[in-house]
Homo-oligomer: A and B are copies of this chain.
Amino acid sequence: MNKGLTFLRDAISGSPAPAAPTDVSATRKRGPQPVDGTPGRARAVVDAVLPVVDGGRFAVKRIAGEPIEIEAHVFTDGHDVPRVMLQWWKEGSSTRQEIPMKLRYNDEWLASFVAPAPGRYAYTVVAWVDAFESWHHELERRVDPEDIRIAARVGAHEIEAAAKRAGDGADARMLSAWAQALEEGAADPEIDADVLKALALDEQRSDAARRHPDRSLEVSFSADLPLTVERKRARFSAWYELFPRSAGDTPGRHGTLRDVAARLPLIASMGFDIVYLPPIHPIGRVQRKGRNNALGAQPGDVGSPWAIGAEEGGHKSILPELGTAEDFRALVASAAANGLELAMDIAFQCAPDHPYVRDHPEWFRWRPDGTVQYAENPPKKYQDIYPFNFESDDWQGLWTELKSVLDHWIAEGVHVFRVDNPHTKSFAFWEWVVGEVKREHPDVIFLAEAFTRPKVMHRLAKLGYTQSYTYFTWRNTKQELTRYFTELTEAPGVDYFRPNVWPNTPDILHEALQGGHAAVFKSRLVLAATLAATYGIYGPAYELLEHLPRGPSSEEYLDSEKYQLRNWDWSPDAGLRPLITRINEIRREHPALQANRSLRFLDVENDQLIAYMKQSADGRDTIVTVVNLDPHNAQWGWVALDPHLLDIEPQEPFQMHDLLTDQRFIWRGSHHYVRLDPNLPAHVMALRRRVRDERDFDYYL
């Protein structure tokens, strides 16, 4: 046995060296100082931490229980090696979790963590130039025996220092012995440099040294970045909107909350998650609107549910015709029993006879003629609606009262709010109230109904809204859809703006639907449900192909439920219900459709065919959707889908399984023929990869 080997064996045990006093670095107050307040000797740089929204002014949004990927750009001068740690913590917690980050390439370091529950979190990145790691990295590349000998002695010093930091446990003893062995080996000319190098690079010992780094020159990224973690429905949900007053089955009878409860099994069976009800509060009588938005209501006209408040009460009350607080609680319970959640409409505005107007005149803007300023956008007037004056001297009283409305309904079991026109109320109010509510109830979901200018919509999303209505309704051509959904899935918006797309709403019957072609209703449904992880329809109008507008250039429905009772066909197979049921089933079975980030459009040389792909985060689930946008004609073309994108060999066949028709197509190569008829204008196809079993039999899985 040569001396090197003996030495290696001996080196395994050893006794710790005595502790030396720690170096105290100069702490002069004057003289040069780093601009950013880091220690002057610190050489690590944390240049960027991602994701980030507006430099940390607003929170990034993620989902509880899912990996949250963090990237940092970290480096130092020269060839030394930084060590990089991701730190994350729950708001208010005094301890930070720490996860080592790994270098991908190009100075990009990665780590991920899982926030266990909804709530407010924060993260940042710290780094230091690691003397041990730098020495280790250099030594790996050393070849000159004399250099290796010197390096061993340098390393011995670093390791001895690590031993001191380790205190007096097993690590300390091992490190001290290792340092001593390196010193001795370096001094002994009979020890081979290669043997010395192998000892110095010993991975088990190195790991022990890494456990006790010198972090005195640690630097931190310039900001702690806020993070809002929500439950999965914040990202993936299917909404169904209906008017309770039309939920009954007797024409002319005012529907009730009990009628709604009776509809829940049907809605649940269609695969929806959230049932959204327009306002259920007492409706103003003063300036009440008649059918089709007529200025004067006729006797018996029920008025608009958004003209909230009358003698019977305001935002915390229930319209007597709909039922009682008891009925509401029963409805909430029934929803839960059906696997559904109730979403309540929050419209912070008042009918002229709302009790607030009498009790809190200071919350409204008064005109010189002694009347309250109603909502208007000249020359349009909404005399039945009084907006709140957020410049009121009693703004704090107003904010407090409005929050109490949310608190009231949360106490009644509502955890999803669809907020009407949030862009016409103070942004500072929303940032405060959404923040406060979510601090107390992290599972509450807020959907912003802001059909307005893009920067305004983005601000609402930044300041805390969970989901946002979009321009989807007005994006109909292939080019419009491609551009818009590409934008929606890009940073920075993708980190805070969660689209909730609707092919119709009670306010928007798009021209494309007014022809009443089932093909358009089908294609818009498939687009909504597969382009976006969250979508909704206003039913039963949608599935029953309701399509007549109030007037020639109007997007309003004729005989809209907004102003009158309607009566609908509630049979399970009516209209598009079977298709909707299947689509929602597919969405639930396929994680690829439960997030938006992976969306990628595929070329098809036919402007009437749009094709796109989504994949689950783990890459295991792939859905390709192709939609024919032409309601009149069959369309065909070649979809470009490079098998490389799917991790499939160029000439390897793969199966596309159409989940709507159960047809199975074998594709191979990069261009694939599709043909779609207006009768069923979409393929929603799952990728099945070829597998060969032990009998040499091919099948697709």
Contacts and interface: CB of A to CB of B under 8 A. Distances in A.
A104 interface: no
Contact of A107 (B376, B456, B462): B456
B368 A154 contact: yes
B428 A40 contact: yes
Nearest to A24: B393
A354 interface: no
Task: Give this chain's copy count.
Answer: 2
A393 B106 contact: no
A79 interface: yes
B48 A54 contact: yes
B78 A217 contact: no
Most chain B CB neighbours (cut-off 10 Å) among A77, A222, A399: A77
A433 to B, nearest CB: 8
Contacts of A157: 368
A143 interface: yes
B368 A431 contact: no
A263 interface: no
A34 interface: yes
A505 B435 CA distance: 57
A48 B32 CA distance: 34
A387 B55 contact: no
Given A150-B367, A379-B141, A431-B36, A26 B425 contact: no
Given A26-B393, A54-B55, A143-B379, A456 B41 contact: no
B56 A431 contact: no
A394 B25 CA distance: 9
Nearest to A377: B79
Contacts of A368: 150, 153-154, 157
A454 interface: yes
A378 interface: yes
A122 to B, nearest CB: 15
Contacts of A393: 23, 25-26, 41
A453 B106 contact: yes
A196 interface: no
A153 to B, nearest CB: 4
Interface in A358-377: 367-369, 376-377
A75 interface: yes
A35 B432 contact: yes
Contacts of A142: 378-379
Contacts of A490: none
Given A138-B378, A222-B57, A369-B150, A387 B455 contact: no
A233 interface: no
Nearest to A152: B368
A425 B77 contact: yes
Given A55-B56, A143-B379, A431-B36, A41 B395 contact: yes
Contacts of A696: none
A428 B42 contact: yes
Contacts of A188: none
A396 interface: yes
Given A393-B25, A453-B107, A36 B428 contact: yes
Most chain B CB neighbours (cut-off 10 Å) among A31, A48, A426, A453: A426
Interface in A181-208: none
Interface in A107-159: 107-108, 129, 138-139, 141-144, 147, 150, 153-154, 157
A28 B396 contact: yes
A31 B393 CA distance: 13
B41 A392 contact: yes
B43 A455 contact: no
Interface in A504-555: none
Contacts of A399: 31-32, 40
B141 A378 contact: yes
Given A367-B150, A368-B157, A77 B31 contact: no
Contacts of A108: 455
A129 B389 CA distance: 13
A153 B25 CA distance: 72
A690 interface: no
A605 interface: no
Interface of A: 23, 25-26, 28, 31-36, 38, 40-43, 45, 47-48, 54-57, 73, 75-79, 106-108, 129, 138-139, 141-144, 147, 150, 153-154, 157, 217, 222-223, 367-369, 376-379, 387, 390-396, 399-400, 403, 423-428, 431-433, 435-436, 453-456, 458-459, 462-463
22 contacts: A23-B393, A25-B393, A26-B395, A28-B396, A32-B396, A32-B400, A32-B433, A32-B436, A35-B435, A35-B463, A41-B390, A43-B427, A76-B427, A78-B387, A78-B423, A78-B424, A106-B454, A141-B379, A142-B379, A143-B379, A150-B369, A157-B368
Given A48-B455, A78-B423, A147-B378, 10 more contacts: A32-B395, A32-B436, A36-B428, A43-B427, A45-B459, A47-B458, A76-B427, A78-B424, A150-B367, A217-B391
